[in-house]
C-alpha cells in the first residue's frame, strides 16, 4: 500500500497535486483544535474588519474571525462527508458482494431494492427529513439519511466485480475447503474489490461534501454549527457582497473549490491506476 502511494506521488502528477491540496486543506482544518475562541461564539471581535496583519482573513458581521471559522467549518464539512462515505461504503459493499456472490433470488431481491433506491430523488427526501425532524435535526441524522441514499450506484459496480470472481478457480477451492460465505467474501474477494471501493469512496466523498454545502447554504441543516455552507448562508443573510464584506464569502468558496479540486484529482488518478484504459482514452481524446 505504501509502495503504491510512494510510486503514485513520484510518477503521477495529478495524484501528487491532489494529495498536496487535500492534505493542506486537512491540516488547515485540523488547526481548529487550537483556535483561541470557541467556534460557535459570536460578537467577540470587531465586526466587518478587512483582512489585515491582525485578522488575516478578516472578521464577519457576527464578530468572528474568518480564518478560524473556516478552519472549523472545513473540519465539520469533511467530517460530514467522511461519515456519509463510510456508512454508504458499508452498505454498498454488503449489498454488492452478497448480491454478486449469492446470485439467484438473493441477487434479484437485492438489486430490486437497489434499483428502487436509485429511483428515489435525493434532495426532496433530505428536505422532507429536515422538515419532519426540524426540532431534533442534527448532522449525524442528516449524514445517516444521506448515506442511505448514496450507496446504490456503487453497489452495482461492486456486484459486477464479485460476479466475475464467483466462478474463479480460487473461489471454488475456498468452497471445497469448507470456508463460509462471509469468509470467502472477506478473505478471498474483498482484496479484489478494495480498489473499486477506494475509487467510489472518493467520488462519494465529493458528492457528500457538495450535498452538505448545498443544504447548508439553503439553511436546511444546523446553521449554528460551523460548516462551509453555513458560512456562506450567514454571509448571504448579512448581505456580505452588497455590504462589501467580500472576504466573508470569498475565502470559504476558495477553500471548498480547492478541496473539490484535490479530491477530484485524487479520484481520476486512482481511476487511472485501477483501469489504465481510462488514461488511454483520455490521451486519445
Per-residue confidence at 55, pLDDT binned at 50, 70, 90?
Answer: confident
Phi and psi at residue 137, to the nearest 5°: -70, 135
Do the Cβ atoms of 107 and 98 come closer than 8 Å? no
Q: What percentage of residues in the chain have a pLDDT greater than 70?
A: 93
The pLDDT tens digits for 261-277 are 998 888 888 777 766 55
Set out the domains of the chain in order of their start, with CATH numbers. 29-47+54-259 (1.10.3720)
Do the Cβ atoms of 158 and 192 come closer than 8 Å? no
The pLDDT tens digits for 164-222 are 888 888 888 888 877 888 888 888 888 888 878 888 888 889 899 988 898 888 888 88
Q: Say what the pLDDT of residue 28 is.
A: 93
Per-residue confidence at 1, pLDDT binned at 50, 70, 90?
Answer: low
Q: Does residue 285 register a pLDDT over 60? A: no
The pLDDT tens digits for 61-83 are 888 899 999 999 999 999 999 99
Q: What is the CA radius of gyration of the chain?
A: 22
Q: Is 147 helix (H, G, I), strand (E, B) or coil?
A: helix
Quote the mean pLDDT of the chain. 84
For the chain, strand residue ranges (E) read: none
Q: Does residue 48 register a pLDDT over 60? A: yes
Q: Rounded distance, CA 71 to CA 236, Å? A: 20
Q: Rounded distance, CA 13 to CA 269, Å? A: 9
Amino acid at each position: 500500500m505504501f509502495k503504491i502511494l510512494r510510486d503514485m506521488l513520484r510518477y503521477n502528477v495529478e495524484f501528487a497535486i491532489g494529495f498536496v491540496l487535500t492534505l493542506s486543506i486537512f491540516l488547515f482544518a485540523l488547526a481548529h483544535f487550537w483556535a483561541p475562541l470557541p467556534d460557535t461564539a459570536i460578537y467577540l471581535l470587531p465586526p466587518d474588519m478587512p483582512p489585515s496583519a491582525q485578522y488575516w482573513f478578516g472578521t464577519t458581521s457576527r464578530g468572528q474571525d474568518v480564518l478560524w471559522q473556516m478552519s472549523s467549518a472545513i473540519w465539520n464539512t469533511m467530517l460530514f462527508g467522511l461519515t456519509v462515505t463510510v456508512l454508504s461504503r458499508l452498505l454498498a459493499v454488503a449489498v454488492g458482494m452478497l448480491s454478486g456472490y449469492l446470485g439467484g433470488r438473493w441477487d434479484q431481491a437485492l438489486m430490486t431494492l437497489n434499483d428502487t433506491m436509485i429511483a428515489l430523488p435525493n434532495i426532496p427526501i433530505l428536505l422532507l427529513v429536515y422538515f419532519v425532524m426540524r426540532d431534533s435535526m442534527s448532522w449525524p441524522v442528516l449524514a445517516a439519511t444521506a448515506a442511505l441514499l448514496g450507496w446504490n450506484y456503487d453497489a452495482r459496480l461492486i456486484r459486477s466485480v464479485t460476479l466475475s470472481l464467483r466462478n474463479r478457480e480460487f473461489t471454488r477451492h475456498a468452497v471445497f475447503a469448507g470456508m463460509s460465505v462471509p469468509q470467502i467474501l472477506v478473505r478471498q474477494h474483498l482484496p479484489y474489490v478494495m480498489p473499486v471501493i477506494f475509487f467510489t469512496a472518493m467520488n462519494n466523498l465529493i458528492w457528500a461534501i457538495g450535498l452538505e454545502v448545498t443544504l447548508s447554504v439553503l439553511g436546511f441543516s444546523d446553521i449554528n454549527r460551523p460548516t462551509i455552507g453555513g458560512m456562506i448562508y450567514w454571509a448571504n443573510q448579512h448581505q456580505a457582497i452588497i455590504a462589501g464584506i467580500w472576504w466573508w464569502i470569498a475565502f470559504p468558496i476558495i477553500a471548498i473549490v480547492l478541496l473539490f479540486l484535490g479530491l477530484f484529482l485524487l479520484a481520476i488518478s486512482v481511476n487511472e491506476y485501477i483501469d489504465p484504459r481510462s488514461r488511454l482514452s483520455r490521451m486519445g481524446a
